[in-house]
């Protein structure tokens, strides 16, 4: 890695290497299990965490709870990880009953999630939901823009227009496909396979993303997030590696350019869900990977 003004930067051996002139942001580790709720209503407790482009609202809701958005600017995602949970979703034009273990896309505008049988209710919204972004326990980390993050630009409108769309998360495993990926105009979710027991430390998968954050939502178990930052030409910008132990539930925001991999270490079930905002073009370009691609056209490159 050389400064562009360094004569060695033109060498063929380094011509394809990325130069990182600006130090990447730190990672965020938001352990909901160590924090008091950011919002308490009579029938729900909610914790918030955010990244540059997204907000995660993690609620433990009882029967009768209502989670409403009065003026939602864009589509958002609802995750119901527990099979026993039941909700009904109401918008000005629809009322839809939804069983548990589903992913739901809700349209822009007013909407209300009525919890009929309680459980974990997780909403993923863009940071255009400024009221919720401001409640996040890590909101101060985003008072200044983070480098390298792709802009929050909505993808093409869904086929048939905006409406409540419900997707079953009980999808058979397919070795030719990576996880269970769903997207809408704003958010992409990879509902990965739960793991039983620790991950083989000889089979980790370190990698990096040049221009988007990764949100890793831990729903079950214990994990270590391993992160390594690229060096710049300024020694004072260098960061030490992270080997951060997190439990569940928690949110980790992994910044662009960092090399990272996540290692399940719990003896029981370990489950981590990856979230991206905006959706990833590389995943979308793989035939068959995005399970609801027929509903949501891919953005032009």
DSSP H/E element including 283: helix 281-284
For residue 214, the surrounding DSSP H or E stretch is strand 214-220
Band of residue 249 on the pLDDT scale cut at 50, 70, 90? very high
SS3 content of the chain, % helix, strand, coil (to 5): 10, 40, 50
List, for residues 252-285, the tens digit of each pLDDT value: 999 999 999 999 999 999 999 999 999 999 999 9
Assess if residue 28 is contained within a domain: yes
Provide the pLDDT for residue 4.
Answer: 63
Closest alpha carbon to 84 in 115, 110, 53? 115
> Does an H or E element contain 46, and which?
strand 44-50
Tell me if 289 is assigned to some domain.
no
Whole-number Å distance between alpha carbons of 252 and 32: 11
Residues 188, 173 contacting (CB under 8 angstroms): no
48 falls within a domain: yes
Secondary structure (3-state) at 66: strand
In-domain check, residue 297: no
pTM for the model: 0.92
Q: What pLDDT sits at residue 17?
A: 47
pLDDT beyond 70 at 61: yes
Domain count, the chain: 1
* Buried-state track 119-130, b at ≥16 Cβ within 10 A, e below 16: bbbbbbbbbbbe
Q: How confident is the model over 155-159, as a mean pLDDT?
A: 96
Confidence check: pLDDT of 58 > 50: yes
Q: Exposed e or buried b for every residue in 255-270, given b needs 16+ CB within 10 A?
A: bbbbebebbbebeeeb
**Predicted local distance difference test score (pLDDT) of residue 13:** 44
Domain annotation covers residue 220: yes
Mean pLDDT across 226-246 = 93
Average pLDDT, the chain: 92
Look at residue 1 and tell me if it is in a domain.
no
Range of the domain at 99: 23-142+153-284
Interval 173-202: pLDDT, tens: 998 889 999 999 999 999 999 999 999 999
**Cα–Cα distance between 79 and 101 in angstroms, integer?**
8
Please check the confidence at residue 236 and state whether its pLDDT lies above 60: yes
Strands 242-246 and 223-228: antiparallel
Which tokens go with 125?
A: 């919204």
Tokens of 202: 């000889």
Tell me how far apart the alpha carbons of residues 91 and 76 are, in angstroms, rounded to a whole number: 13
- C-alpha closest to that of 24 among 226, 277, 276, 227: 227
Q: Please give the share of the chain, as a percent, with pLDDT higher than 70.
A: 92
Two structure tokens written together for 172: 């058979």
Q: Decide: 281 and 299 in contact? Cβ < 8 Å.
A: yes
- Convert the pLDDT of each residue in 112-155 to its tens digit: 999 999 999 999 999 999 999 999 999 999 999 999 998 988 89
Phi, psi of 96 (to 5 degrees): -125, 130
pLDDT class for 24, splitting at 50, 70, 90? confident
Percent of the chain at pLDDT exceeding 90: 83
What pLDDT is attached to residue 247?
98
CATH number of 88's domain? 2.60.120.10
pLDDT of residue 5: 58
Residue 232 within any structural domain of the chain:
yes
Identify whether 300 is part of a domain: no
């Amino acid at each position: 890695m050389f400064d562009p003004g360094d004569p060695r930067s033109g060498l063929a051996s380094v011509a394809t290497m990325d130069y990182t002139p600006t130090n990447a942001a730190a990672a965020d580790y938001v352990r909901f299990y160590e924090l008091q709720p950011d919002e308490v209503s009579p029938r729900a407790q909610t914790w918030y965490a955010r990244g540059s482009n997204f907000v995660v609202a993690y609620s433990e809701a009882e029967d009768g709870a209502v989670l409403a958005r009065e003026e939602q600017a864009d589509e958002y995602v609802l995750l119901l990880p527990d099979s026993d949970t039941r909700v009904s979703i109401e918008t000005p034009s629809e009322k839809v009953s939804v069983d548990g273990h589903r992913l739901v896309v809700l349209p822009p505008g007013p909407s209300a999630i009525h919890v009929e049988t309680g459980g974990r209710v997780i909403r993923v919204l863009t940071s255009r939901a400024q009221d919720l972004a401001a409640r996040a326990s890590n909101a101060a980390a985003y008072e200044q823009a983070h480098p390298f993050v792709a802009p929050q630009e909505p993808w093409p409108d869904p086929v048939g227009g905006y409406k409540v769309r419900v997707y079953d998360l009980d999808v058979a495993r397919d070795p030719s496909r990576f996880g269970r990926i769903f997207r809408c105009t704003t958010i992409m979710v990879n509902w990965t396979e739960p793991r039983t027991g620790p991950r083989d430390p000889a089979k980790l998968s370190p990698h990096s993303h040049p221009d988007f954050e990764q949100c890793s939502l831990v729903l079950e178990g214990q994990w270590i997030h391993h992160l390594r930052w690229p060096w710049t030409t300024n020694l004072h910008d260098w960061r030490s590696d992270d080997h951060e132990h997190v439990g569940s539930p928690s949110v980790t925001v992994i910044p662009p350019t960092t090399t990272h991999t996540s290692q399940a270490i719990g003896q029981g079930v370990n489950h981590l869900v990856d979230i991206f905002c905006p959706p990833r073009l590389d995943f979308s370009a793989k035939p068959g990977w995005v399970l609801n691609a027929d509903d949501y056209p891919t953005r032009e490159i």
